[in-house]
Structure 1
Amino acid sequence: MRSGYTNDFLPGFFIEMPTPNLAVQGDILQPPGLPEGKVVVPYIHYSLLMSKSTKQALCSAANVDNSKQQTISGAKGRKWFIDDRVGKEHQIINDAYTGTPWDRGHLTRRTAVTWGDYSTALAASNDSCAFTNACMQHENFNEDEWRVPELAVANFNMAKENRLNIMTGPVFTLCDRFFTKGPGFDPVRIPSGFWKTITYVDANSGELITAAYLFFQDIDTLKTKKAKQRIQLRNFRITTTELQLWTGLQFDKQMFDSNPLKFYSGPEAVKVTRLKDLSDPTEALLAAGIAETAVMEEARTLIELDKLYELIDELSWY
């Protein structure tokens, strides 16, 4: 029953789960309850990759069918559990959440996977409450800013057959905070932010479209629970290239080509305000907004991080 995320869920397209790049490959957990070499942990309608160092998921990917949604109350479908396949020692459990301001923040949202017949939806609701699918989210962030992209998924109505691929995960940085309850309690790493992608086939054009979002769990977001009333989701959009650099994950090529915010591909996404060194051909083509497929491929994989940040400083986004 736990078939997990499937790559052929969107009509006419195959979209693979993200895979770790060399920088994070060594941090991917080999779950002791899975066969050797199988690192993707499947659940009902979603799958995830676990980090050894943080004991939290690096990515959770879900198939969502909004046309077959069932209403499952939290009382019936919210039973948090330790996944024995992953091992208790490899996941953050209730000790870190009980009596603290930190919520068990769903990566794949519970109500996103409650679709299909009622029994399947109920089982999926419970399956979403694995501790492996939770990350340390401050209660003010979890109940405020993070609700904005979650509600966008729930209310989405532009997809062919109402089908969506939703991927999400934490962002860990050199500036991460750690939470501890005191002596004898292993410190828990707090994600600096969270990302989410929505990929779908447009019901009118038949084209594949991807939107990527990044929210930081910083001091400003923790001050209030009223931000969701005024923030606009489009202001948190980023390129798939940026997302890849933030996460250390490699995304399906089609998620680059279908994300209209492509700093490397054309005038519809960027406006150049100032040019610096154009001696490098890739940087020159990027800055000019003129890039062929080969150059786009090169930019995704070869551009250095400091050059990317310099380039982003020169761009003004719509």
Structure 2
Amino acid sequence: MNELMTDHTAAVAARNLAGRAGYDPGFLGVPVPIPALPAVKTVLLPYTHFSVMMRPDKRLAAVTALAMDGKKLMDLDRSGIAWRLDPRLPEDQQTGERVYARNDLDRGHLVRRASAVWGDTRAEAAQANEDTFYYTNAAPQAAKFNQGMELWLGLESYLQENAADNSRRIVVFTGPIFGDTDPVYRGVDIPLRFFKVAAFLHHGELAATGYVVDQTPQLTDLPEIRRPSAIDDAPPLGPFRTFQVPIRDIAALTALDLDQLTAVDRMPIAAALPSARVASTWRELHSAEDLDLDFDLGE
């Protein structure tokens, strides 16, 4: 696919995105703003029901923010929708098809397509469906689908159905966790881990939970991986492992301002061990029933 845009086609495409409202911080009835990333240049791009805060230096999102209304979800087909660059951002500040061509890397949706496809009308849901296919909403992930990835994708739906109040509204922040050992491939850092923070109302009170998915490969030559110049082939990525983690750990790993959601973290150990070192209290999940929450989902 040819990614290059003429000035005219870029202008037309940008006009087509005009008027997108993006993520609504008041969606839950209490203000939940997009987490800030102090001291790092970012660009906020609004879409339908979600926004992407891009890091031009990484050519990937720092965080995506999704408002999901479970009462208005629609089941729309994804066939025929092509991935495309966002014309509102220079091409050299986003990761396009070149990184995903001729390898086993997948364009991993950060905002889950099925979670964004809702609305009062089919046209609204269809627009959200198409908006999830901008490269700004993608990050390189292992193409092989497995049980760990299935769990990761289903967490927000599980929480919405079992923890959120009857409005069935949930807010989801998702993004890469950039690390010093991330391999560099075709000029782009390949994040080995991603985070998800879900926020919702439980019995009228703001609640949140945090998760990390790890696709770290089992590499024997880690020092070589750390040298970007040595990476010519796509890095081998291992099975997805999903963890429930304290939100404060995500804040420490990403430098995102998550103070509001850290304060309402419903993972019991987050409150019991507030000074535990990062990653020491992570809980590996094998199914959604493994979630450790300080309330009864059957309430």
TM class by smaller structure: 0.7 to 0.9
List per-residue Cα deviations over 1:262-292 (Å, max 9, x = no partner).
Answer: 65644xxx4xxxxxxxxxxxxxxx56xxxxx
C-alpha offsets along residues 26-80 of structure 1, whole Å, 9 cap, x if unaligned?
xx24xxxxxxxxx31101000111112220001001000011011110115x331
Name the one with the larger helix percent.
Answer: 1
Contact 2:50–2:65 under 8 Å retained in 1: yes
CA RMSD after TM alignment: 2.4
- Are residues 1:8 and 2:26 paired? yes
Q: 2:142, 2:238 within 8 Å by CA — same for their partners in 1?
A: no
- Report SS of the residue matched to 1:92: coil
Q: What TM-score do the two structures reach when normalised by structure 1?
A: 0.71
**Bigger Rg, which one:** 1
2:103 aligned to which of 87, 100, 106: 100
Q: CA deviation at 1:143?
A: 5.2
- Identity fraction in percent: 24
> 1:256–1:262: 8 Å Cα contact kept in structure 2?
no
- The CA distance in 2 between the partners of 1:53 and 1:217, in whole Å, is 22
Deviation at 1:261, TM superposition (A): 2.8
Flag as ranges the 4+ runs of structure 1 deviating above 6 A. 315-318
Answering whether residue 107 of structure 2 is matched by residue 109 of structure 1, we say no
Q: How many Å separate the matches in 2 of 1:316 and 1:52?
A: 30
Q: Which amino acid aligns with 2:251?
A: Q
Question: 2: CA distance between counterparts of 1:316 and 1:58?
Answer: 22
Q: What does 1:24-173 correspond to in 2, within 5 Å?
A: 25=40, 28-29=41-42, 39-76=43-80, 78-116=81-119, 117-140=121-144, 144-155=147-158, 156-158=160-162, 159-160=164-165, 161-173=167-179
Deviations 1:69-113 (A, max 9, x none): 11110115x331110101212111111112111000000011111
> For residue 257 of structure 2, what is the aligned residue in structure 1?
250
- Tell me the alpha carbon deviations over residues 173-232 of structure 1, each in whole angstroms, 9 at most, x when there is no partner: 11111123xxxxxx2210020000111112xx22221110011111259455xx7xxx7x
- Closer, same or farther: CA 42–252 of 1 in aligned 2, 3 Å: farther
Q: Could you tell me which amino acid in structure 2 is paired with residue 200 of structure 1?
A: F
- Structure 2: any 5+ residue segments left out of the alignment? 1-18, 219-235, 284-291, 293-299
Can you give the 5+ residue segments of structure 1 that lack an aligned partner in the other structure? 30-38, 181-186, 271-285, 288-307
- Partners of 1:87 and 1:14 in 2: CA distance: 31
Deviation track 1:108-144 (CA, whole Å, cap 9, x = no partner) reads 011111001110111101001100110011112x654
2:16 aligns to what? none
Instruction: Find out whether 1:197 has 2:197 as its counterpart.
Output: yes
Instruction: Please point out which of 244, 260, 266 is paired with 1:237.
Output: 244
Instruction: Give 3-state SS (helix, strand or coil) of 1:19's partner.
Output: coil
Q: How many residues align?
A: 245
| Equivalent-residue separation in structure 2 for 1:2 and 1:144 (angstroms) | 34
**Cα distance in 2, alignment partners of residues 259 and 56 from structure 1:** 27
The separation in 1 between residues aligned to 2:149 and 2:179, in whole angstroms, is 19
Change (3 A) 1:316 1:107: closer
Shift in alpha-carbon separation, 1:72–1:312, aligned structure 2, 3 A: closer
